[in-house]
Structure 1
Amino acid sequence: MRQAGAIGIRTPLPGSVVTGRARTNVCSAVAGGVGRKPSRSDRLPIMSAQDDFERVAAGLADRGVTVAKVFGKPAYKDVDGKAFACLFQDALACRLLEGTAEHREALELPGAELFDPSSRHRPMKDWVCVPHANAGRWLEFAEIACGRPR
């Protein structure tokens, strides 16, 4: 959905189907091309980075992880109150420790980069921003970051 005008009327994005509260994209190739009404199985849910952040938070809840603000952004904190990951733009920045296999693996993902919260070319060497395109791996990297000593 996008905002239409100053009064905040929500209108569907082009190529979207609105079903209840969730917005879904419909690929014309999957839907059989122009002229065919898409079936329920043709619709793919689109989750925002914030939605995926909340999904991962739920997956970490049994470890005593809480959500708080760090760098003015939503972040995960362990039971000792130490931040180990935060949502930055549309990526999850995780503290993976430079030189570890997980740090290298995260940096090899398309679009991944070292976390630079100031945007002044002073990245934090232990933190990697895992892009939203790889949100399926956010829980994996967050669990690793949570288990790392500080």
Structure 2
Amino acid sequence: MIYSVDVRIVAPVNDTEVTDRVEDAIRNVFPDAEPVHEEGRLVAEAHALDAFSDVLHEQEILDTARRVFLRNSTADGFEFALKKQAAFEGIVNFAVGEPDELGEITVEVRVREPDVESFIDYVAPETDEGTPVDPMREYGDRYDPESGEY
């Protein structure tokens, strides 16, 4: 799939935290990102979520990720938040409910190509009992991968 996305990642750096550890938390989940220190926070940009998608597959949390992405989507993209401590360990743990006392890693994804839902399908595909559904297998020649339509 050809896609064009802009990913903005922001993580607060509290006085009690070591900046390098927060930077490691970002890079462990988004290895293509280059965090830059701004006043009280790290900001990074990326243009792919392939490595992040790999972690979602490995942790077998595609359904959870899809729900979070779709719930927080607009016509232009989607956003979500991750727990910093889990990210430091290379684990994706979506932040929901009460904010973490250390703050969260917030991620904004702006999708230019394809549409938002198709990109979500790419990053966190639908599953059948936890196994990603391959639209080509399910729909055969009725599936057009360029348009994402059946």
* Greater relative contact order (CA < 8 Å, ≥ 6 in sequence): 2
Q: TM-score range by the shorter chain?
A: under 0.3
TM-score relative to the length of structure 2: 0.24
Which is greater in Rg? 1
Higher helix share: 2
TM-score, L = length of structure 1: 0.24
